[in-house]
Amino acid sequence: MIDEDRGKPYWENRYAEKFRKVRDAAGVPSNVWSMDSRAGAVSETVEATGSLEAARDLATHTTTKTTRRYSRGDGLEASRKIAEARAKKRT
């Protein structure tokens, strides 16, 4: 991730500092961290596609084991979509 002010990768906690400023200015509760938005994106990708691999690629994780830790959904919606796709293929 590139720091827009410096045009270089973020260093140490600079991203977290910027996130806190934006979060506070937007009135988002302080118990919401930047990693929550990352986990949300991973979870939504898994739910929408049924693919842990797609979420892994989005998050630029090396392994799906790491991605699975970020995925906070229960998998119900993904399972439903997969079941519907399988049923559709049979007809």
| pTM, rounded to two decimals | 0.55
Which of 79, 83, 78, 53 lies closest to 68, judged by CA?
A: 53
User: Residue 24: which of 33, 11, 37, 12 has the closest Cα?
Assistant: 33
Into how many domains does the chain fold?
Answer: 2
Residues 44 and 84 in one domain: yes
Supply the pLDDT for residue 1.
Answer: 63
Same domain, 42 and 15: no
Do residue 41 and residue 79 come from a single domain? yes
Check whether residue 28 and residue 63 sit in a common domain: no
Give SS3 for 5.
coil
Considering the domain architecture, whether residues 56 and 81 belong to the same structural domain is answered as: yes
Q: State residue 76's pLDDT score.
A: 66
Pair 23, 37 in one domain:
no
> Within this chain, do residues 40 and 76 fall inside the same structural domain, yes or no?
yes
Q: Please list the rounded mean pLDDT of every run of 10 residues in the chain (91 residues).
A: 74 80 92 82 87 91 90 72 83 75
> How far is residue 85 from each of residues 28, 33, 66, 81, measured CA to CA in Å?
38, 35, 27, 6
Q: Are residues 39 and 64 in the same domain?
A: yes
